[in-house]
Structure 1
Amino acid sequence: MPAARDSLLEAAGAALSARPWPSVRMVDVAAAAGVSRQTLYNEFGGKAGLGRALVRRAAERYLDGVDRALSTPAQGPERLAAVAEWTVRAARAHPLVRALLTGCWDAGLPAAGRAPGPGELTRAVRDRAAAALTPAEGGARCELAVRLALSYVIAPGEEPGPGELLVLLSAPSRTAAAR
């Protein structure tokens, strides 16, 4: 019943955006999705299972956004900047993405379960960027792009301006010999 599963995840996500996870009630999620509580329990086994599914979905959606940013027709550094900007926007807009990227889970979120941790997600983004870009396009800078974006997530300041991350990612590399 994929349609019911998707509806339940959408309803649970909407409920989580309105209140902390401990206050989310299964009966309300089922009603918002237009299914019975039994269907919810059949799909997820309980609230913990629903929470784990929400966390996995957040990770998948984040990585889907990374893939979209990497598939733009722009040049390598511009695609890396798009990944970095997507990371900052997604983390600021979605508390589950922020928690996945930083490892900082608060009591208002569902438990992570076996969700990817920050290191695993960072490696996934790095590997996807390295596969999508040639060395000439800046494939070696994918780790820098991810870490730069995470610095904006972990220590929020002003939103990076348009092209600001691109300038940082396009700057010539400094090697130990050049210092």
Structure 2
Amino acid sequence: MRDAARDLMRDTVLDVAAEEVVAHGWDGLQVRAVATRAGVSRQTVYNAFGDKHGLAEALVLRLLDRFLDGIDRAVAAEESLRGQWEAAVRYALDAAATEPLLTAVLTGTSSDEFLPLLTSDGGPVITRARDRLVATLGGHHPDVDPRVLAPVAETVTRLTISHIVLPLHPPERVAAHVADLATAVVTAPAR
């Protein structure tokens, strides 16, 4: 029961923090305001997340998990490996363009705090996305060698983040190119 209450409190705090970041950017986020709106003490927020950076990391990882759930659904809707790579990348690019929290993270004044969590300090994000892609695609294609799939999934994750942060081409073109590359490497004869 105590774990369920703690999880509910964390979710409530993260929901409120996400709303605050979308409305005011990371610089406008005040732990006191989040605590008040969530109905907990400021110390409770600090105990749960450590500090403002810990709160940012928790927001990004929760957003990532929701993103990955969507990618799983997009992949499941396709039959071919190439179609699944393309669906995964396209979903990520489209969701990044329409998700208000991610938009605030990547384009607002909050980027100074969040962007490193996706790029230079992005180890947990990249690892979680890579492992989920390996599990999802490996589940659909058990014949694909996971030792090949893992580095390709990591590369696809990094490429997708790069295109989210600095979009140069239409999402459908990026998704097709990344899918072509990933499929070519995964299906290449072993050396």
TM bucket (normalised to shorter chain) is 0.5 to 0.7
Task: Tell me the secondary structure at the aligned position of residue 46 of structure 2.
Answer: helix
Q: Shift of the alpha carbon at 1:8?
A: 0.2
Once residues 135 and 84 of structure 1 are traced to their aligned partners in structure 2, the CA distance between those partners, rounded to angstroms, is 21
Distance 1:32 1:26, change over 3 A: same
Aligned partner (choices 40, 49, 57) of residue 44 of structure 1: 49
TM-score w.r.t. structure 2 length? 0.62
SS at the partner of 1:109? helix
* Alpha-carbon distance in structure 2 between the residues aligned to 1:148 and 1:48: 25
Which residue in 1 is equivalent to 2:167? 156
Structure 1 or 2: larger helix share? 2
2:87 maps to what in 1?
82
Percent identity of equivalent pairs? 27
Structure 1 position 68 matched with structure 2 position 79:
no
The amino acid that maps onto 1:124 is D
1:116 maps to a residue whose letter is G
The residue type paired with residue 123 of structure 2 is: P
Q: CA RMSD in A?
A: 4.2
Q: Tell me if structure 2 keeps the 8 A contact 1:91–1:98.
A: no
CA 35–173 in structure 1, closer or farther in 2 if over 3 Å, else same: closer
- Structure 2 spans left out of the alignment, 5+ residues: 1-5
Q: 1:146 to 1:56 in 2, by over 3 A?
A: closer
Separation (CA, whole Å) in 2 of partners of 1:19 and 1:46: 18
Q: Deviation of residue 170 (structure 1)?
A: 6.6
Contact 1:26 1:47 in 2 (8 A): yes
Residue 62 of structure 1 aligns to a residue whose secondary structure is helix
Kindly provide the amino acid, as one letter, of the partner of residue 43 in structure 2: Q
Which runs of 5 or more structure 1 residues have no equivalent in the other structure?
A: 100-104
1:35 to 40, 43, 57: 40
1:50-61 correspondence runs (5 A): 50-61=55-66
